[in-house]
Amino acid sequence: MISLLLFGSFLALLILSVPIAISLGLASAVALIYSGKVSSSYIAQGLVTSIDSFPLMAVPFFILAGDLMGQGGLSRRLLNVGNVLFGRYTGGLAIIAIVTCMFFAAISGSGPATVAAIGGIMLPAMAQQGYDKGYSVGLIAAAGSIGIIIPPSIPMIIYAVSANVSITKMFLAGIIPGLLIGVALIVVAYLSARKHGYRGSERRYSGAEIAAAVWDAKWALLAPVIILGGIYGGVFTPTEAAAVGVLYGFVVGAFVHKELSFKGLYQVIAGSALTSATVIVIVGTATIFGRVLAIERIPFVIADYIVHLTDNPIVILLLINALLLFVGMFMETIAAIIILTPILLPVVTAVGVDPVHFGIVIIVNLAIGMVTPPVGVNLFVGARIGGVALEKAAAGSIAFIVAMIATLLAITYVPGLSLAPLGLMGN
């Protein structure tokens, strides 16, 4: 009865368009009050203790760092490098958009931030070159989802805290899967460009021009080297690396490129604060929701049911992928991670799946969810920037989603794609 009340009230609130953070909190409160097992003050205490975490401090820092670097001219310089390197190929602008999204992902750690930063520049340029708007938005929405797979990644931090695994190991494990998805998207973009006649630029850049573009973007290219190199080299923790990223983005934007004005800085800080507050509230209420699940032993019941249904890890992972793809269509990424991790992790560890590998599987599934309606946040951001209907953007993303699902299956059933970098780094 408690489980029915918890999930029933949560779904009812979502159907009524109540924000997900409020829905999670109210559903948890209703279930706790009905059960009477703990005091109602447990909710307030849980909201505080759930966000009282040093690793979790990395989230607002990475959000601010990504916004500062986008506003400070780093994303524009990355696009210029992509243009001189790939602009002449068939589907050149599409390839540039994907490659730049991959690189910006190593700065921002956020899918929507990547779509906003790159889409704001690329979508008008692609429209001028005759690219279909729905196709362009679908492509950038899919490429932007790499923002949560290639490290640093905000959802990876949330999973690491929820599953009690190393953030550094999660970051290492995300490198190859993120690159594989990027390559898969490039292949689809190239084939689509050939089919629809999206030709590259006739301009051929000399070696000197390429060198000049790379030199102009040196500070942007250096950002992930400093952030990720510092983490993997043991110079600083992921949380400290996020703070370093904020300082780096501010100094480069304000004093090197001189594109970050006082007014722009205020807008960046205000926008980042709103985003961070939203994320932290979701973390708090989703954690309470997860604790209610634990009190009622729901994760153990589900784990026991699945293991009794089948003990074949291939079938279990296939069922979990299907569940995660479905959940990703309707639930915000961070809330889904916090709620589903304690439910699914015991199931997969019981059949020998590594928790770090499983974390990558969860995140790739939910990254695909960022491109699938009705709650595909990347699609919403891209459609708003590109000025197209959501339905058209969703249609344009279908081929890219298929490519991502195919890559997901490879990542799921070949653990070495995620875990190999850990062995190379001695973890």
3-state secondary structure 120-141: HHHHHHHHHCCCCHHHHHHHHH
d(CA 246, CA 239): 11
Q: What share of the chain has pLDDT > 90, as a percent?
A: 19
258-287 pLDDT, tens digit per residue, is 888 888 889 889 988 887 787 788 778 877
Which amino acid, one-letter code, is at 298? Answer: I
The domains of the chain are located at 56-279+298-425
84-126 pLDDT, tens digit per residue, is 877 777 778 888 889 888 887 777 777 777 887 777 777 887 8
Sequence-distant (≥ 6) Cβ neighbours of residue 12 within 8 angstroms: none
Give me the mean pLDDT over the 14-28 stretch.
82
- Contact between residue 118 and residue 101 where contact means Cβ atoms under 8 Å apart: yes
d(CA 28, CA 24): 6
What integer pLDDT is reported at residue 200 of this predicted model?
A: 67
Which amino acid, one-letter code, is at 289? Answer: F
Sequence-distant (≥ 6) Cβ neighbours of residue 141 within 8 angstroms: 115, 370, 371, 376, 378, 379, 381, 382, 393, 397
Q: Phi and psi of 72, rounded to 5°? A: -85, 10
Task: Specify the pTM.
Answer: 0.79
330-349 pLDDT, tens digit per residue, is 777 888 888 888 888 988 88
Residue 269 structure tokens: 């800080």
d(CA 363, CA 177): 10
